[in-house]
């Protein structure tokens, strides 16, 4: 990324004071907003509040700072066939959504697995290199951020890693806590990530992408209770938000990172209203699902609810945002993918699969891709929810599909880890001939 200051450089330039913190040089100020960013998507004419921000040279989970999962320039084929399968990407029994692929600048993708390895895979399906973490058991469930010639990824050992993109060599690692299940967010030379502690507690961190040094940490233990959610930023609203297992959505001003508010879900008696999925910011609001059986729209300025939509079960997926249609696509454990009017929360359509949906949907042009625990990947028409095609597998499809140059990349969970079937693979689909 060019012309982007780290928080440390920015502070030096303006002479701002910093305060010390246990994990490093903590700052309550931040880098300036970059002018050189791709503001892809529709523009409402209100300061770009319905445009997504993609820093140049950066690839990361859900594509943008706002975490939309929206790729208007890509296309989904009318019919597909399997080009290759990488074996044993996921072998564990943990039921959380699996990690997703991101594009490698030299072609192909980077794909992490719950084995604890980050794989660099060519477009032809050859493994360039394998970056190893110290995580065992649950391994990696977040998706890497790619920038500055490195791939940044957190793992369930609580460490944030930086691997060289050309070789897979470990450039630095920073121990932040007990577990990282979220996907780091890259902006302005820094990485923003939520970290889990055993207590149960949690904390938000900012880490210098060049050195791995901590530049800011939330002074209080918040988000608390194992934050698995991935943060999102709205530059227009000047906010960063992240959810947590404690049932709260937390908000900080951005870039100065002063805590602003927290929004409480409305949990039924059988759970705590956990917010486990990533957050998306759009049109001055935060969108997310909860274990209290609701999907929410919350105002970023005030922290007040704009609307909620009640599903038939818990929701632990993240939203996909389509600004051209003003629609948010959300999955639920009630087996459905919902297309909701982003302004009102009214249902445009719903599509039923054979099992709960855990991974995020992806909007690609006029189509939506979603996986299900029924071991199937679906392609749907974005306007109607009509099925275009489906591909069946042995394992659950809980990673968010990523389309690169018209090819579809994703991973499956191991089919039956308790029964010894631990070969959950990574896939590439291409247009059928």
Tens digit of pLDDT for each residue in 112-142?
999 999 999 999 999 999 999 999 778 999 9
pLDDT at 267: 75
**CB proximity list for 208: less than 8 A, separation 6 or greater:** 6, 7, 8, 189, 190, 214, 215
Residue 268 is encoded by which pair of tokens?
Answer: 């039924």
Output DSSP code: residue 28: S
Mean pLDDT of 397-417: 97
What does the pLDDT read at residue 322? 98
**Cα 132 from Cα 139, distance rounded (Å):** 10
What pLDDT shows up at residue 5?
31
Q: Where are the alpha helices (DSSP H) in 344-397?
A: none
Mean pLDDT computed over 146-172: 98
Number of H helices, E strands in the chain: 1, 35
State yes or no: pLDDT of 28 exceeds 50.
no
The pLDDT tens digits for 179-231 are 999 999 999 999 999 999 988 899 999 999 999 999 999 998 889 888 889 99
pLDDT tens-digit series, residues 274-324 = 999 999 999 999 999 999 999 999 999 999 999 999 999 999 999 999 999
Res 339: pLDDT: 98
pTM reported for the whole predicted model: 0.90
The residues near 363 (Cβ < 8 Å, ≥ 6 apart) are: 68, 69, 70, 71, 72, 320, 321, 322, 329, 382
Q: How far is CA 261 from the centre of its chain?
A: 22
pLDDT at 41: 58
Domain extents in the chain: 7-431
Average pLDDT over residues 343-350: 98
pLDDT at 53: 97
What is the per-residue pLDDT for 40? 63
List pLDDT tens digits, range 234-266.
Answer: 999 999 999 999 999 999 999 999 999 999 998
* pLDDT recorded at residue 221: 82
CB-based burial, 12-37: b 16+ in 10 Å, e otherwise: eeeeeebeebebbbbbbbbbeebeeb
The pLDDT, as a whole number, for residue 268 is 65
pLDDT band of 34, cuts 50, 70, 90: very low
Topology (CATH level 3) of domain 7-431: Methanol Dehydrogenase; Chain A (2.140.10)
Dist. CA 171–CA 220, nearest whole Å? 30
Lowest mean pLDDT among 18-27, 34-43, 72-81, 273-282: 18-27
Task: Report how far apart the first and last C-alpha atoms of the chain are (Å, whole number).
Answer: 38
Picking from 68, 56, 147, 66, the residue whose alpha carbon sits closest to that of residue 110 is 147
- Give residue 19's pLDDT band: very low, low, confident or very high (50, 70, 90): very low
Predicted pLDDT of residue 225: 87
Average pLDDT rounded to a whole number, residues 323-328:
97
């Amino acid at each position: 990324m060019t012309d982007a200051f780290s928080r440390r450089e920015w502070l030096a330039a303006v002479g701002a004071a910093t305060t010390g913190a246990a994990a490093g040089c903590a700052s309550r100020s931040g880098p300036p907003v970059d002018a050189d960013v791709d503001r892809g998507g529709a523009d409402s004419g209100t300061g770009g509040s319905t445009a997504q921000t993609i820093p140049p040279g950066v690839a990361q989970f859900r594509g943008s700072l706002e975490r939309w999962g929206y790729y208007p320039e890509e296309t989904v084929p009318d019919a597909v066939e399997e080009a290759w399968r990488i074996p044993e990407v996921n072998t564990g029994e943990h039921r959380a959504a699996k990690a997703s692929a991101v594009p490698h600048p030299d072609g192909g993708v980077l794909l992490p697995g719950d084995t604890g390895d980050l794989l660099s895979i060519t477009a032809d399906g050859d493994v360039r290199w394998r970056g190893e973490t110290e995580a065992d058991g649950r391994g990696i469930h977040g998706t890497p951020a790619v920038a500055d010639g490195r791939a940044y990824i957190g793992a369930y050992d609580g460490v944030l890693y930086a691997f060289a993109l050309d070789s897979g060599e470990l450039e630095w690692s920073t121990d932040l806590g007990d577990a990282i299940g979220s996907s780091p967010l890259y902006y302005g030379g820094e990485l923003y990530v939520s970290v889990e502690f055993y207590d149960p507690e949690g904390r938000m961190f900012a880490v210098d992408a060049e050195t791995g040094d901590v530049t800011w940490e939330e002074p209080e233990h918040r988000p608390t209770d194992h934050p698995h959610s991935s943060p999102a930023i709205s530059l227009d609203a000047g906010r960063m938000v992240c959810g947590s297992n404690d049932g709260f959505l937390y908000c900080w001003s951005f870039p100065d990172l002063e805590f602003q508010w927290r929004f409480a879900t409305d949990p039924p008696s059988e759970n705590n209203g956990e917010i486990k999925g990533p957050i998306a910011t759009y049109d001055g609001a935060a969108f997310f699902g909860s274990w209290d059986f609701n999907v929410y729209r919350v105002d970023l300025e005030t922290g007040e609810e704009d609307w909620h939509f009640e599903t038939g079960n818990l929701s632990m997926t993240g939203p996909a945002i389509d600004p051209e249609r003003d629609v948010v696509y959300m999955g639920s454990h009630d087996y459905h993918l919902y297309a909701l009017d982003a302004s009102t929360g009214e249902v445009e359509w719903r599509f039923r699969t054979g099992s709960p949906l855990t991974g995020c949907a992806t909007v690609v042009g006029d189509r939506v891709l979603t996986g299900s625990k029924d071991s199937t990947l679906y392609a749907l028409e974005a306007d109607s929810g009509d099925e275009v095609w489906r591909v069946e597998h042995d394992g659950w499809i809980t990673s968010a599909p990523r389309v690169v140059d018209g090819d579809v990349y994703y991973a499956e969970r191991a089919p039956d880890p308790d029964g010894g079937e631990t070969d959950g693979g990574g896939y590439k689909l291409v247009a059928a001939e």
